[in-house]
Chain A
Amino acid sequence: MIVAVLSGFGAALAAPFLHRRLPRWSGWVCALVPLMLFGFFAAQGGEVAAGHTIRAAYEWIPSLGVDFSFSLDGLSLLFALLITGIGVLVVAYASSYLHGHHHLGRFYGLILAFMAAMLGTVLAGDLITLFVFWELTGLCSYLLIGFDHGREAARKAALQALLVTCAGGLALLAGFILLGEGAGSLDLAALLTRGDAVRSHPLYVPILALVLLGAFTKSAQFPFHFWLPGAMEAPTPVSAYLHSATMVKLGIYLLARLSPVLGGTDAWFWSVTLAGGITMVAGGVMALIRSDLKQILAYSTVSALGTLTLLLGLHTPRAATAAMVFLLVHALYKSALFLAAGAVDHGAGTRDLARMGGLARAMPWVALGAGLAALSMAGVAPLAGFIAKELLYEAKLQAPLAAEFVTGAGFVANALTVAVAVMVGYLPFHGRERDTSLHHHRVESLLWLPPLLPALMGLVVGIVPGLTGRWLVAPAVAAVRGVPVPVDLALWHGVNPVFLLGVATVAAGVGIASVRGALLRRLPAGSGPGWGPERGYGLLIDGMLGLARWQTRLLQNGRLRYYLMTVVGAAVFLMGVAILRSGEIPRQLPRPDGGIHEWLAAGVILAGALTAATTTSRLAAVAGLGTVGYGVALVYILYGAPDLAMTQFCIETLSIVLFVLVLYRLPRFSLLSTPGGRVRDLLVAFSVGGFMTVLVLLAVSQTLVPHISTYFLEQSLPAGHGRNVVNVILVDFRALDTLGEITVLAVAALGVYGLMKGRGEGGG
């Protein structure tokens, strides 16, 4: 199973190369990957339906109890099938929709990586594994939303989605760690058995709040819903994949997955139900007043996500069943509608609802797919949506608390959903042509088949619901509830209150849709949301950028001497304060002793430094500095550090070469600084020098912890197989440090290289 999850990443790496080699066939080959994965997961269906959980684990960080593990139960299977199944359609669709796009290969790679990340999230058997894949989906979606990176709107929407979901992700990580502490395990299977311990834990409320924050941001719940409609800047296949069927449902997945652990308390009920309810109604209203097809669908997705959240908040077996059925049904009809909207955009050149009409004549198959999907969305028998809606009402009527409010809100949201279904599934395709200037043309099969297939699936599920119920829904519900729940889906339950509510909903929805035009004309123009959470987000970002600009102006003033002064000043100040507070100021200077050769080396260093500081010739200054360096190397030799001395000699030599190279290009030496400036420089220099002296005296006067150096000396030969202790420490005992150091060296060299090349090209 690990292979199944990771194969998507492998395919993602290969996709761009494949596309370059075989531009005509790459779409088919890339669609094969999700297709095979779909087959793989479908083949596990029997075992999962029998109540088994398939597990695969690999120890990752045993010392922290973190495993890299995957487990496949009913809930995971439902999601995995949706992800891979819709993945096939989206990749095939994209090969036609984005045909000839110069980054198509990259697109395939991103979408496959995204699919793999989502699979990893829903199959993860460990909280940390889940989190890693969760963040990967956010990262991939950032790249996919901003796929048209040439447009500023796309970049902005991508960043918004990333910031909102990643902020939630951080909260989620904190929540997971607390949850792991509270339950004593990060393993999901173990966690599910310790629900009581977690719910009575003193940290239960913070855990719940943090996890919900993560789930709500990902699933676009109020007040974090605004990123999802913004993300419609993505190409349509991406919208269909990310924002209708799969990624935004990861938050729902998380709620469903953890509901046996965290759910069932009052805090859970009120926070989850309330957020879901508000999102459900607000999303429906917002969808109604939009006129861009994709925006309408986005807001209706927000509304559907709200419904799912609300159902999980109710935390009853009926609600769990309704949630799972609605999840499946919504994925089928919403992906069909998104793909159909893309086909309309492609074929007619517009997504503006007001300009469309009568498109069915030009694109009959798209109209059929969209029509079927819209019927399912509206909950008309015999489509799957009908079953879902019956279950929705049943679950809401049986809500443990505030059943009337929940049902009332549900009725409003569902009626709005019906209205939206009419808007997206009927209005564009039927009636008279609104705008004769549109040159709509037929669309090829790869554009109409992908929307038609899930729409037809909706019909199939509606006609034979029993099979779906047994194989897909029942195992998923069992996972959500923690115990097996009998699920018996049927199309016809007779005329009962639920059925009547459904009929009333459809009637109300069609009514709303027919008066929508008149309603919209009443609204003052430009009455869009000038306020609300999105505005808050904007203010936050602007404030942060302002702060960044202010401190950049302050710190990055572009003058080397101020940089130097800031760096050494900060070092002297901070460490000086630390030394003064520790009170360990060296009282007496060590008695100067040493042979004449040591005094000689010191004299050479001092003379070099004085020359460098006072000379008026650059070459002499460089030579003076070189003398200082060689003098220091001499000291190394005298005190028995030949390695250091050799390195120092080489460095000094190379630095002088560098200096000479630079000297050529410098202007004539002249005194530019004022006398005051020179006094200040003198003060800085002396304070740094004095400070370093104090530091060295302190270091010498204190007895260091002895065992580490003796350990190195003793172990160098037996453990490191070397007699040169310095080298053994560098390449063996502390090799990780050295690896870091040479990486820094490489980065610094790249920086210099880039700087020089950049200057050359810039004409400077």
Chain B
Amino acid sequence: MQSLLLATAVRLLLPLLLLFSLFLLLRGHNEPGGGFVGGLVAAAAFVLHALAHGVAGARRVLRVEPRQLVAAGLLTALASGVLSLTLGLPFLTGLWSTLPVPVIGHAGTPLLFDAGVYLVVAGMALMIVFSLMEE
């Protein structure tokens, strides 16, 4: 189902949606959003690309395997928890920098954790959709 309209729109939509998903991730701590929905939006962006250009094209744009995203996400989330262990605090204690960062407000390990969630959710959704489309 090659559609010129969709194919052209996707070219613009993909970066916009990805940007939006990152925006959702970063603002999530204070406003509606977060890693879960951000990851879903990112996955939707690539699914849209796959619908327009085929899975092979979407994989090329994605560059990494979806399952690597899942692994990276789990490791990121785990690392954010282990970080506090090295300071002698219990696993997954939130650590915060005192310096304010633009857009996010404060930066801390919960944000890292949320980024892990983002990667896992996006990778998981893409893994399932891609393997169904390739069947």
Instruction: Write the residues of chain A forming the contact surface with B, with a CB cutoff of 8 angstroms.
Output: 642-643, 646-647, 650-651, 653-654, 657-658, 661-662, 665, 720-724, 726-728, 730-732, 735-736, 738-739, 742-743, 745-746, 748-750, 752-753, 756-757, 759-760
Contacts and interface: CB of A to CB of B under 8 A. Distances in A.
A730 B36 contact: yes
A739 B127 CA distance: 19
B69 to A, nearest CB: 10
Interface string B112-135: 011011001101110111011111
B67 A661 contact: no
B127 A749 contact: yes
A745 B127 CA distance: 11
Contacts of B125: 654
B32 A657 contact: no
Contacts of B116: 742
Q: Give the interface SS of chain A, mostly helix, strand, loop or mixed.
A: helix
Nearest to B90: A736
Contacts, number: 141
Nearest to B115: A731
B53 interface: no
A748 B124 contact: yes
Contacts of B128: 658, 749, 752-753
Contacts of A658: 128-129, 132
A620 to B, nearest CB: 20
Given A721-B106, A739-B77, A743-B74, A731 B113 contact: yes
Contacts of B30: 722-724
A60 B41 CA distance: 42
B67 A750 contact: yes
7 contacts: A647-B37, A727-B28, A731-B114, A739-B113, A742-B73, A746-B70, A749-B124
A757 B128 CA distance: 11
A746 B67 CA distance: 9
Contact of B121 (A665, A727, A731, A742): A742
A281 B116 CA distance: 62
Nearest to A642: B32
A739 B132 contact: no
A732 B94 contact: yes
Given A749-B127, A756-B135, A654 B117 contact: no
B135 A665 contact: yes
Given A749-B124, A756-B135, A724 B33 contact: yes
B103 to A, nearest CB: 14
A700 B110 CA distance: 32
Given A727-B33, A752-B131, A738 B47 contact: no
Nearest to A752: B128
A735 B40 contact: no
A447 B133 CA distance: 58
B32 to A, nearest CB: 4
B120 A731 contact: no
Given A662-B132, A739-B92, A721 B78 contact: no
B10 interface: no
Contacts of B91: 736
Contacts of A753: 67, 127-128, 131
A290 to B, nearest CB: 51
Given A742-B117, A753-B131, 20 more contacts: A654-B43, A658-B128, A658-B132, A720-B29, A720-B94, A721-B29, A721-B106, A722-B29, A724-B33, A728-B110, A730-B117, A732-B110, A732-B113, A735-B113, A745-B120, A746-B74, A748-B124, A749-B70, A750-B127, A757-B131
B97 to A, nearest CB: 10
Given A647-B40, A749-B70, A731 B78 contact: no
Nearest to B41: A650
B105 interface: yes
Contact of B78 (A642, A720, A739): A739
Interface in B9-58: 24, 28-37, 40-41, 43-44, 47, 51
Contacts of A752: 127-128, 131
B120 A723 contact: no
Given A657-B51, A749-B123, A730 B34 contact: yes
